[in-house]
């Protein structure tokens, strides 16, 4: 009887935890993306002023609870010296968001290289990946289709989506965060 009761309780009341890694080169807008996500889904959340967000050294953590689902975000620093730590988070991740600064065409070669390296990870191969083409609202920004072409990933086995976003304005933030796992 206890087993049946425990099973029913777990089915209806226990929260399912998902872990989402947010990565990309430094200053792509990863932390602003996370802040917008929290402000969209957390009631009365006081988002950090984007002008005061500085370079992430290490890790920022965010948590969003939707019904019986808990989304745990790990926003990892994008400096070259910190990228070697990224794979340590991939094994426990259920999804990955790769943020690209669409205004930094001069970095597209580096972005492509880093993206391919990330995508070659055995754990990333099995999880959904969203490429958030950030700063898409700015003049001269690359379109999502152009970024998709630059990344050239045909080997990813799980879902892969490329979506224009504006972390600063909050454009398209709800879409990827809420549907990446469902």
- Determine whether the annotation assigns residue 25 to a binding site: yes
Burial class (CB in 10 A: 0-12, 13-18, 19+), 104: middle
- Determine whether the annotation assigns residue 72 to a binding site: no
- Determine whether the annotation assigns residue 29 to a binding site: yes
- Give the chain's end-to-end CA distance (angstroms, integer): 32
- Determine whether the annotation assigns residue 63 to a binding site: no
- Determine whether the annotation assigns residue 136 to a binding site: yes
- Determine whether the annotation assigns residue 26 to a binding site: yes
Complete DSSP assignment for 144-167:
HHHHHHHH------S-EEEEE-BT
* Residues counted in the chain: 182
- Determine whether the annotation assigns residue 62 to a binding site: no
Give 71's strand partners: 18, 64
Cβ–Cβ under 8 Å, residues 117 and 25? no
- Determine whether the annotation assigns residue 30 to a binding site: yes
Token representation of residue 4? 């049946």
Place of tokens 């990827």: 176
Instruction: Please give the distance of CA 56 from its chain centroid, rounded to a whole number.
Output: 15
**Other beta carbons within 10 Å of 141:** 20
Q: Name the binding residues.
A: 24-31, 56, 78, 134-137
Q: Name the binding residues for Mg(2+).
A: 31, 56
Q: Name the binding residues for GTP.
A: 24-31, 78, 134-137
């Amino acid at each position: 009887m206890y087993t049946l009761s425990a099973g029913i309780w777990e089915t209806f009341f226990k929260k399912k935890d998902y872990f989402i890694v947010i990565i990309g080169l430094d200053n792509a807008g990863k932390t602003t993306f996370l802040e917008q996500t929290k402000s969209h889904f957390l009631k009365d959340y006081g988002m950090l002023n984007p002008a005061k967000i500085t370079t992430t050294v290490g890790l920022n953590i965010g948590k969003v609870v939707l019904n019986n689902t808990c989304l745990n975000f790990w926003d990892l620093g994008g400096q070259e010296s910190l990228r070697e730590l990224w794979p340590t988070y991939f094994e426990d991740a259920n999804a990955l968001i790769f943020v690209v600064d669409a205004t930094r065409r001069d970095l597209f070669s580096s972005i492509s290289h880093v993206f391919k390296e990330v995508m070659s990870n055995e754990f990333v191969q099995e999880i959904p990946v969203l490429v958030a083409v950030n700063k898409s609202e700015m003049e001269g920004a690359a379109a999502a289709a152009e970024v998709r072409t630059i990344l050239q990933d045909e080997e990813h086995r799980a879902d892969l989506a490329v979506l224009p976003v504006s972390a600063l304005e909050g454009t398209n933030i709800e879409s990827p965060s809420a549907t990446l796992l469902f």
